[in-house]
Amino acid sequence: MTRIGMIVPSSNTTLEPATRRLLAERSDVDVLCTRIPVRAITRDGTGASFDVETMVSAAELLADAEVDCVVWNGTAGSWLGADHDRRIASAITDRTGLPATTSTLAILQACHDFGVTELACASPYTADVAEAIVAEYAGHGITITGRSEWCLSDNRAFAAPGAAEVAELLRSAAKPGAHAVGLICTNVDGAAVAADVERELGVPVIDSIAATLWWALETAGAPSRINGAGALLDQADLRHRASRIVAELRVRTGCDRTTLRVDDPLRGLHVDLCAAESRADGVRSIQHDPSLDQRGLETVRWLDEHRRVLVQPAFTEPPFPPQALREVYGVSAQVLGPVERGGEVVAWLSAHSIGERAWTESDVDAMNAARDAVAALLDR
């Protein structure tokens, strides 16, 4: 049994029932909660106790129950700063010996693993708090492309609107070009409407309650995938590990960009969008570009036929990559590695070079190691 210890805002009436609902089929996980004073959300900090010592004292009570990790289930770090939350997590670990994290750190991790650099932001907060969130997320490479807020400060009032109003809050925030919609508050149940809103908008919903649960499970070392509650809980476990695989592949090959594309209908993943990407500084992202029919590409048909690594020091002979890869993204050389499952190519890795280059045996070895790692990941 995995026990997750959660520090909860005292006036929050949403996150506990929502978390229990998300864990309804998980008999291997239990959640234990304690509360700290939070009655209002304001920029001047009145109405809430977000200081480190209050958090540590609450964590010590959870440690008495022998929990496997402690999570501050509140989003104050989104306007107070992620460094504030890192100090909380570090202090909890120093005092209790337990791994610790927070909702804001979970949201930022989810944005990283989903490749989100343009985020629509929905919240119940007042405009000045929302503006502070915009500034904080910009410091993490995340541009807030659209906003919608209820302009409330009483924390109890955040829980009052129903599912239809929450869905409308998310819709109102969404703007063309956003990679995801974030619901920044753990007293608004975005998890209940995430899957429906995603189908309508075509982008993931990063709900604070769901993100906190996902990252708490990861922090505790427990399986973190939960089906049927939206893309985050369905995909984040795979994307998180895939991000590490492509990052290591880029380091080992010294190339400019690495990507992973996966077909997994049960998770809602399709090869026309990258499941993971790693880029050198200044290299343009390809992760959210759905313009090409990937299965129809000459290079992908080659992978499907030959089932081995394709090495292309230059694009002087077939199979040729798409023109957009060369002209829009500036790729001049690549290595592609197919991943099979059940006799089918269900995924492939790409290593891109902006300049022509002679790929080495060690580069191919790195690609094969990444292929093995992805195959193991897909079999989890």
Consecutive 10-residue runs of the chain (380 residues): their mean pLDDT? 98 98 97 97 88 97 98 97 98 98 98 98 98 98 98 97 98 96 98 96 98 98 95 98 98 98 96 97 96 96 98 97 95 98 96 97 98 95
Q: What is the model's pLDDT at position 366? A: 98
How many CB atoms lie under 10 A from the CB of residue 376? Answer: 11
pLDDT of residue 47: 84
The rounded distance, in Å, linking the Cα atoms of 353 and 245 is 18
Q: How far apart are CA 214 and CA 23, in angstroms?
A: 11
CA distances from 216 to 20, 31, 62, 114 (A): 14, 10, 14, 17
CA distance to 9, 156, 328, per residue, from 236 (Å):
25, 30, 29
Burial class (CB in 10 A: 0-12, 13-18, 19+), 351: buried
Q: Is 181 helix (H, G, I), strand (E, B) or coil?
A: strand
Question: Which residues, 6+ apart, have CB-to-CB distance to 305 below 8 Å?
Answer: none
DSSP class of 115: T
Within 10 angstroms of residue 25's Cβ, the number of other Cβ atoms is 10
Note if the bond before 265 is cis, omega within 30 degrees: no
For residue 120, list its beta bridge partners.
Answer: 146, 181
Q: Which residue has the tokens 């022998």?
A: 66
Residue 135: CB atoms within 10 A of its CB come to: 11
Say if CB 6 and CB 12 are below 8 A apart: no
The 10 Å Cβ neighbour count of residue 134 is 16
Length reported for the chain: 380
Alpha helices, H only, the chain: 15-22, 52-63, 77-80, 82-96, 103-113, 127-138, 163-173, 194-201, 208-220, 231-253, 298-306, 323-327, 361-378
| Helix or strand run (H / E) with residue 149 | strand 143-149
Strand partners, 2: 29
Q: What distance in Å separates the CA atoms of residue 131 and residue 64, rounded to the nearest whole number? A: 38
pLDDT for the residue numbered 380: 83
CA 49, distance to chain mean position in Å, is 28
CA distances from 4 to 51, 68, 213, 250 (A): 21, 6, 9, 35
pLDDT of 128 reads: 97
